[in-house]
Amino acid sequence: MAQEDIFKKLVAHCKEYGFVFQSSEIYDGLGAVYDYGQNGVELKNNIKKYWWDSMVLLHENVVGLDSAIFMHPTIWKASGHVDAFNDPLIDNKDSKKRYRADVLIEEQLAKIEDKINKEIEKAAKRFGDAFNEQQFRETNLRVLENQQKWDALHNRFAKALNDGNLDELRQIIVDEEIVCPISGTRNWTEVRQFNLMFSTEMGSTADGAQKIYLRPETAQGIFVNYLNVQKTGRMKIPFGIAQIGKAFRNEIVARQFIFRMREFEQMEMQFFVKPGTELDWFEKWKTTRMNWHQALGFGAENYRFHVHEKLAHYANAAVDVEYKFPFGFKEVEGIHSRTDFDLSQHEKYSGKKIRYFDPELNDSFVPFVVETSIGVDRMFLQVLSAAYCEEQLENDMRVVLKIPPMLAPVKLAVLPLVKKDGLPEIARQIIDDLKFEFNCQYDEKDSIGKRYRRQDAIGTPFCVTVDNQTPEDNSVTIRYRDTMTQERVSISELSGIIGKQVSYKNLFAKI
C-alpha cells in the first residue's frame, strides 16, 4: 500500500479509537489545532514521562521547571522573535494558496534525493550481496548527474537563506519550475516575511493594556529563570534545565495532521556550559538524543541527522533528528548550540547580570547553551507511524498498534470469557489488584476475538482472559499483542510479567 494511503488510514484510526480529534469539531473545526482523546492523552503522558525521566532522573545535573506561557513582552524583543521570527512566504496567484518558500525548495531537494535513492535501491536489488553503494554513487551517471543537481540547488538555497535574499528564493522557485500542487501553475507572487507569534492584550483599560505574546518556544522561560534555578538549586556548570509546555506559532502552512500545529507542546532542555566546551557538549547530546529515539526499537535506518542549511541568528551549530514518516524524512527534534546569545541579550535588555561565578577560574562568565528541543506531538506521530500495522491473518485482518509496551495507553485488558459463573467478579478483582500499577481496562462485551481486536487497535500489549478453569486453580491466559501467542499463568504472576515489560528501565538501559 502506498505510504500516503497508510497515512490517511492512520489519521482515520486516530479519530476512530480516541487518540486525536480535530479541535472544535462540532463547529467544523479550527485549522491546525487538535485535541487528544482518551487514548491519545495516555500515550502523550507516557511519551512525556519517558522524556522527563530520561532528562531529570538519569542526569543528576538536570533539573525541571514549569514557567508561565505569558511572559514580559521585552523577552521576545531580547530573544529576537519580534524582529526575526519570520517565515518567507509565497502565494500562488491562481489557487490563492500560500506556501513557505523554503519548504517548497526543500521538497524539490527531496525529490532529487528520492531519484538517487531509487537508483540505488534498484541496483542493490540487481547486484544483491555484491552491491557496493559507495562505488555505485561514484560511478553511476544518472546518480552523479542528480547529485550534481542536488549540490548546486542546495548551495544556492543555503546562500539565499543565509543572505536573507527573498528575491533569490523566488528566483530559485521560478528556475526550478516548481508548480503549485493545487493549481499546477507557476504564477507566483513575491516572497514576503511573516511573523509567527500570536499576540493578545493583558490588562483591562485601553491605555493600560499591554501587548503580550503567546510563547513560540518554551526555551525563553528557562533562560529568564537561569539565575533563580542556578542559585536556589546551587547548580554547578555544566547543568541543564528541562521543561515541557505548550508553544504557539501562527503557522501559515499547517499540514500533515499533528505534524505542524498552531498550538503544540515542546519538551526542551537547555544545558549551560563553559564557553569553548559547547561543541563537545553538542556532540554528546546529539548521541544521547539519538539513543533515546532509537531505544524505542523503530529501526535505526528510519532516523538520520540533518545539518541545517541556515543557522538561526543565535546558533553556532545545529542539527535536526529526522524520522522517516509515511510522508518522508522530517524533523522531530532540533539540537542547537545557542552560544551565549540568549543570556547576553537578557543581560542587555533587563540590565541584570546573568553570569556564573567559576571558583576554579576565580572569574565569572555568561554560560553558553546547548539545547535539545523536541515536539511532543511530532513524537506522538512518530510512535503511531511506526506502530501502525495491518496484518493479514488466516481468515481475518487485524489492525494493530505495536506501541512499545511502556508507552501503550492501556497496558492490560482483563476479559471474562463469559458474563456468568463468577468470572466477571474474578476479572474485576484482578483489576482492583493491579490498577495502582498499570492502566487496566475491563471488557466483557462481544466474542473474545472481537475484544482482542479492539485491544490490538489501541495497542494494548497484554490481554488476560478469565475462563472456567480460573475459579479452580487461579490461572488465566495471557495473550501477547505482537505474536498473538497465549500462555497459561497464575494470577499472582501477572504483576511480575507485565511489570517487567512496561518498565521504562528497559528503555533507559539503552540510552
Nearer to ligand ATP, 335 or 434 (CB): 335
Does position 264 interact with ligand ATP (CB under 6 A)? The reply is: yes
Tell me how far, at minimum, the Cβ of 178 lies from ligand ATP, in Å: 18
Does position 456 interact with ligand ATP (CB under 6 A)? The reply is: no
Nearer to ligand ATP, 33 or 237 (CB): 33
Cβ contacts of 301 within 8 Å, gap of 6 or more: 324
The answer to whether residues 369 and 273 touch, using CB atoms and an 8 Å cutoff, is yes
Torsion 233-237-242-243 (CA) sign: positive
Backbone angles phi, psi at 285, to 5 degrees: -70, -30
**Which one among 54, 256, 266, 339 touches ligand ATP, defined by CB under 6 A?**
266
Nearer to ligand ATP, 107 or 251 (CB): 251
Judged by CB under 6 A, the stretch of 113-121, 134-142, 203-211, 328-336 that binds ligand ATP is: 328-336
Judged by CB under 6 A, the stretch of 130-138, 154-162, 331-339, 409-417 that binds ligand ATP is: 331-339
For helices 141-163 and 101-127, the axis angle rounded to 10 degrees is: 160
The whole-angstrom separation of Cα 68 and Cα 71 is 7
DSSP codes, 331-380: EEEEEEEEETHHHHHHHHHH-----EEETTTTEEEPPEEEEEEEEHHHHH
Of the candidates 444, 410, 408, the one whose C-alpha atom is nearest the C-alpha of residue 426 is: 444
The whole-angstrom separation of Cα 393 and Cα 212 is 56
Does position 170 interact with ligand ATP (CB under 6 A)? The reply is: no
Instruction: Tell me if the bond preceding 405 is cis, omega within 30° of 0.
Output: no
* Torsion angle (degrees, nearest 10) of CA 360, 363, 366, 369: -10
Does position 371 interact with ligand ATP (CB under 6 A)? The reply is: no
**Which one among 333, 443, 456, 467 touches ligand ATP, defined by CB under 6 A?**
333
**Binding pattern to ligand ATP, positions 223-252, x when CB under 6 A?**
--------------------------x-x-
- At residue 184, the 3 state secondary structure works out as coil
Residues in the chain: 511
Does position 108 interact with ligand ATP (CB under 6 A)? The reply is: no
271-290: contacts with ligand ATP (CB under 6 A): none
The answer to whether residues 332 and 323 touch, using CB atoms and an 8 Å cutoff, is yes
**Which one among 40, 245, 334, 405 touches ligand ATP, defined by CB under 6 A?**
334
The whole-angstrom separation of Cα 189 and Cα 182 is 15
Number of residues counted as binding ligand ATP (CB under 6 A): 16
Nearer to ligand ATP, 325 or 452 (CB): 325
**Which one among 260, 289, 402, 411 touches ligand ATP, defined by CB under 6 A?**
260
Judged by CB under 6 A, the stretch of 225-233, 327-335, 393-401, 415-423 that binds ligand ATP is: 327-335
Tell me how far, at minimum, the Cβ of 510 lies from ligand ATP, in Å: 22
The whole-angstrom separation of Cα 338 and Cα 368 is 7
Alpha helix (H) residue ranges in 34-189: 38-52, 74-78, 81-84, 101-127, 133-139, 141-163, 166-175
Does position 36 interact with ligand ATP (CB under 6 A)? The reply is: no
Does position 176 interact with ligand ATP (CB under 6 A)? The reply is: no
Does position 317 interact with ligand ATP (CB under 6 A)? The reply is: no
Tell me how far, at minimum, the Cβ of 487 lies from ligand ATP, in Å: 39
Nearer to ligand ATP, 346 or 378 (CB): 378
**Binding pattern to ligand ATP, positions 57-86, x when CB under 6 A?**
------------------------------
The answer to whether residues 410 and 323 touch, using CB atoms and an 8 Å cutoff, is no
Tell me how far, at minimum, the Cβ of 102 lies from ligand ATP, in Å: 8
**Which one among 309, 340, 377, 467 touches ligand ATP, defined by CB under 6 A?**
377
Could you tell me the end-to-end alpha-carbon distance of the chain, in angstroms, rounded to an integer? 34
- At residue 507, the 3 state secondary structure works out as helix
Give me the residue whose beta carbon is nearest to ligand ATP. Answer: 375
Does position 88 interact with ligand ATP (CB under 6 A)? The reply is: no
Nearer to ligand ATP, 332 or 491 (CB): 332
Where on the chain is the footprint of ligand ATP (CB under 6 A)?
217, 249, 251, 260-261, 264, 266, 331-334, 373-375, 377-378
